[in-house]
């Protein structure tokens, strides 16, 4: 029996994939698996039984990844599972920034009791006129799951799209429309574009990237869209740019104090992934990855340990070792098994940054003594034996 705990509501279509071998428990500190959306795990204690954390979503800045890795806790996310939901809201954000739909709807609301509202609307509507996005230039920073969808959709709406991503994956490059201009510097993108949409993770290298220096390179009346993370944009610099009229609209999915009332700010309460489809996709992927890790030791879409897949466990006893990525770990593991005449039927060893993972299928069961010897190899973070 495995135990899991959900720190945020997770879609039932995903949770229903847990068989009767799984029990939801109310105490996170006792769980073997945690499922989470945006709840912050920074500064939280992790229970001694915790094996995995699955983020049903993309951004993992709410999870202390290094601390988890050093405690042998595998963290997963669900790449691309909510990308379409975000893409659609970004397109909506561009349209809201281009046509004064919000101002117009508010006007109708304020005049709903007016018996002559139809006539009054015809006189009032000039105040809410806007511009079209067709033919305008859109710059997309970050061409991952979301950036590619936004860029491609914008070309279908007749926009001239510039993409910037020095680390673009081969997979994303294949999916990107050929009509998208390859911006080789951010300066080029800032100088050219009427709309700029940011789709990068919050990392040390990206936090604060849209600041007064970046904004100074942008066109007057630019629209900046941030559906990635609040910290990517320097809030004070953005407020100054809105007040000064340099930025026409700042459309963001992340409310921060003091921004919603600033003229030109369009602030949404983090709704990018809040669609039935995205929530279902994320939950299904998060649960599937959790089950495969707990039952087979396979790792897919981890952000702090390498991916590693030896298929279903089958008849063999499977030993799973999370450890640091240093020389001779395999040698030490295989020596211990050899000394106890335990034959290895299959083996995989993968690394990612400072951490590595070894999976071994062995032909006979192993004793507590052997497990203890493997556990006490220096730099082993966790051992599991799947029988």
Ligand X SMILES: O=C(O)[C@H](O)COP(=O)(O)O
Contacted entry of ligand X, ligand NAD, none for residue 325, CB cut-off 5 to 8 Å set by kind: none
Residue 227 contact, options ligand NAD, ligand X, none, Cβ 5-8 Å cut-off depending on partner type? ligand NAD
Q: Is 185 helix (H, G, I), strand (E, B) or coil?
A: coil
Q: Is residue 271 within a helix (H) or strand (E), and if so which, with residue range? A: none
In angstroms, the CA 122 to CA 100 distance is 15
Member of 37, 248, 284, 316 binding ligand X (CB under 6 A): 37
Please give the sequence-ordered ranges of beta strands (E in DSSP) within 93-210, or none if there are none.
Answer: 137-141, 160-164, 181-182, 195-198
Asked if 359 and 320 touch (Cβ cutoff 8 Å), the reply is yes
Cβ neighbours for 319, distance < 8 A, ≥ 6 positions apart: 358, 359, 360, 362, 366, 374, 383, 384, 385, 386
State the number of CA atoms in the 13 A half-sphere of 270 facing the CB: 11
x-or-dash pattern for ligand NAD, window 74-113, by CB under 6 A? -----x--xx--x---------------------------
Among 14, 36, 137, 165, binds ligand NAD (CB under 6 A): 165
Total binding residues for ligand X by CB under 6 A? 10
Strands 160-164, 137-141: pairing kind: parallel
Q: Residue 357 carries which DSSP code?
A: E
Q: Closest CB to ligand NAD among 302 and 358? A: 302
The distance of Cα 98 from the centroid of its chain, to the nearest Å, equals: 28
CB-wise, 352 or 384, nearer to ligand NAD?
A: 352
Q: Does 235 bind ligand NAD (CB under 6 A)?
A: no
Q: Does 274 bind ligand X (CB under 6 A)?
A: yes
Closest residue (Cβ) to ligand NAD?
Answer: 144
Write down the least CB distance from residue 14 to ligand X, Å: 12
Question: Which positions lie near ligand X, rule CB under 6 A?
Answer: 37-38, 57-59, 82, 270, 272-274
Question: Which positions lie near ligand NAD, rule CB under 6 A?
Answer: 57-59, 79, 82-83, 86, 141-147, 164-165, 167-169, 172, 199-202, 205-206, 227-229, 253, 270, 272-273
């Amino acid at each position: 029996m495995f135990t899991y705990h959900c720190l945020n509501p997770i879609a039932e279509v995903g949770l229903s994939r847990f068989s009767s071998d799984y029990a939801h428990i109310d105490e996170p500190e006792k769980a073997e698996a945690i499922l989470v959306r945006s709840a912050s795990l920074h500064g939280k204690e992790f229970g001694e039984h915790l094996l995995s954390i699955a983020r049903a979503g993309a951004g993992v800045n709410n999870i202390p990844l290094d601390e988890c890795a050093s405690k042998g806790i595998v963290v997963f996310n669900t790449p691309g599972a909510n990308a379409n939901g975000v893409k659609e809201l970004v397109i909506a954000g561009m349209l809201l920034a281009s046509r004064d739909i919000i101002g117009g709807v508010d006007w109708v609301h304020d005049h709903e009791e007016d018996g002559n509202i139809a006539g009054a609307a015809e006189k009032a509507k000039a105040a809410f006129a806007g511009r079209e996005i067709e033919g305008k230039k859109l710059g997309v920073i970050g061409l991952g799951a979301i950036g590619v969808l936004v860029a491609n959709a914008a070309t279908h709406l007749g926009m001239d799209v510039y993409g910037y991503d020095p680390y673009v994956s081969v997979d994303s490059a294949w999916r990107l429309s050929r009509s998208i201009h390859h911006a080789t510097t951010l300066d080029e993108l800032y100088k050219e574009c009427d709309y700029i949409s940011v789709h990068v993770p919050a990392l040390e290298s990206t936090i604060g990237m849209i600041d007064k220096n970046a904004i100074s390179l942008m066109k007057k009346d630019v629209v900046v869209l941030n559906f990635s993370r609040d910290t990517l944009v320097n809030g004070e610099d953005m407020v100054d740019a809105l007040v000064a009229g340099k930025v026409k609209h700042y459309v963001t999915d992340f409310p921060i104090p003091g921004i919603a009332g600033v003229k030109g700010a369009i602030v949404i309460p983090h709704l990018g992934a809040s669609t039935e489809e995205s929530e279902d996709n994320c939950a299904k992927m998060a649960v599937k990855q959790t089950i495969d890790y707990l039952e087979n030791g396979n790792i897919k879409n981890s952000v702090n340990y390498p991916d590693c897949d030896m298929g279903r466990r089958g008849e063999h006893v499977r030993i799973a070792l999370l450890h640091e990525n240093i020389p001779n770990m395999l040698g030490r593991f295989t020596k211990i098994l050899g000394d106890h005449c335990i034959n290895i039927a299959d083996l995989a060893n993968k690394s990612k940054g400072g951490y590595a993972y070894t999976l071994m299928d062995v032909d006979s069961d192993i004793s507590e003594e052997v497990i203890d010897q493997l556990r006490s190899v220096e730099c082993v973070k966790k051992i599991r034996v799947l029988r």
